[in-house]
Structure 1
């Protein structure tokens, strides 16, 4: 969904990974909007929405992708970007996520 959004076709990091990734849920007040993920091994990071048809989730995802691009531009590795973004306080927009929820997932294939 976000891969073809204007201005976000290239955010610096690759947008897909085949191996292990770290991820955290991005939450709004009442729901999980999606997942912010990273893979240093593949220099990849992105936001994966839970509901690709929801316009509000799409808008929030664009904001997270913008933050990832900023982290890339500052020279952060994907996992450093994930840690920085996951540490945002609830007062920061959009949504919230935290390292307490950090998980690993292996996608082989």
Structure 2
């Protein structure tokens, strides 16, 4: 006598994921308003990406320059971390940019290009620069 094995009905249930509150504070990754941005380069002067901010939407982020490849991506982690740290301290996004300018050191693997603080009409403009 053979027994037919029936699948456990629990294996067919939909999984429900509920987002848990908490985690580190983060700036919003999106804004449709004008942004201020900084150009970041490596020791050789090659642009590796852009740090942008908008206070009105409490938004800020790092855009890696695609042409910089893996090296630019890896060096960019430092700039994203600076943004995370600034948000954790309750710093406004554009104030975080000002801190980055003051703390920039051209002897490090990457630094803010002096005099590069610029305003763009929107985040899409900065993303376009990064994708060139």
**TM-score, structure 1 as length reference:** 0.79
CA contact (8 A) 1:87 1:99 kept: no
1:22 paired to 2:36: yes
1:51 paired to 2:66: yes
Cα distance in structure 1, aligned partners of 2:29 and 2:49? 15
1:31-58 CA-to-partner distances (Å, cap 9, x unmatched) read 1111111000110111111116711111
2:50 aligns with 35
Runs (5+) with no aligned partner, structure 2? 1-23, 125-132
**TM-score, structure 2 as length reference:** 0.66
Moved more, 63-72 or 89-98: 89-98
Number of residues paired by the alignment?
100
Cα distance in structure 2, aligned partners of 1:62 and 1:91? 17
Classify the secondary structure of the residue corresponding to 1:60: helix
Cα distance in structure 2, aligned partners of 1:34 and 1:71? 19
The structure where helix makes up a greater share of residues is 2
Q: How far apart are 1:63 and its partner, in Å?
A: 1.3
Cα distance in structure 2, aligned partners of 1:76 and 1:33? 24
Structure 1 or 2, whichever has the larger Rg, is: 2
Classify the secondary structure of the residue corresponding to 2:49: strand
Cα distance in structure 2, aligned partners of 1:77 and 1:94? 26
Moved more, 37-46 or 81-90: 81-90
Runs of 4+ in 1 over 4 A off after TM superposition: none
1:88 aligns with 103
Classify the secondary structure of the residue corresponding to 2:38: strand
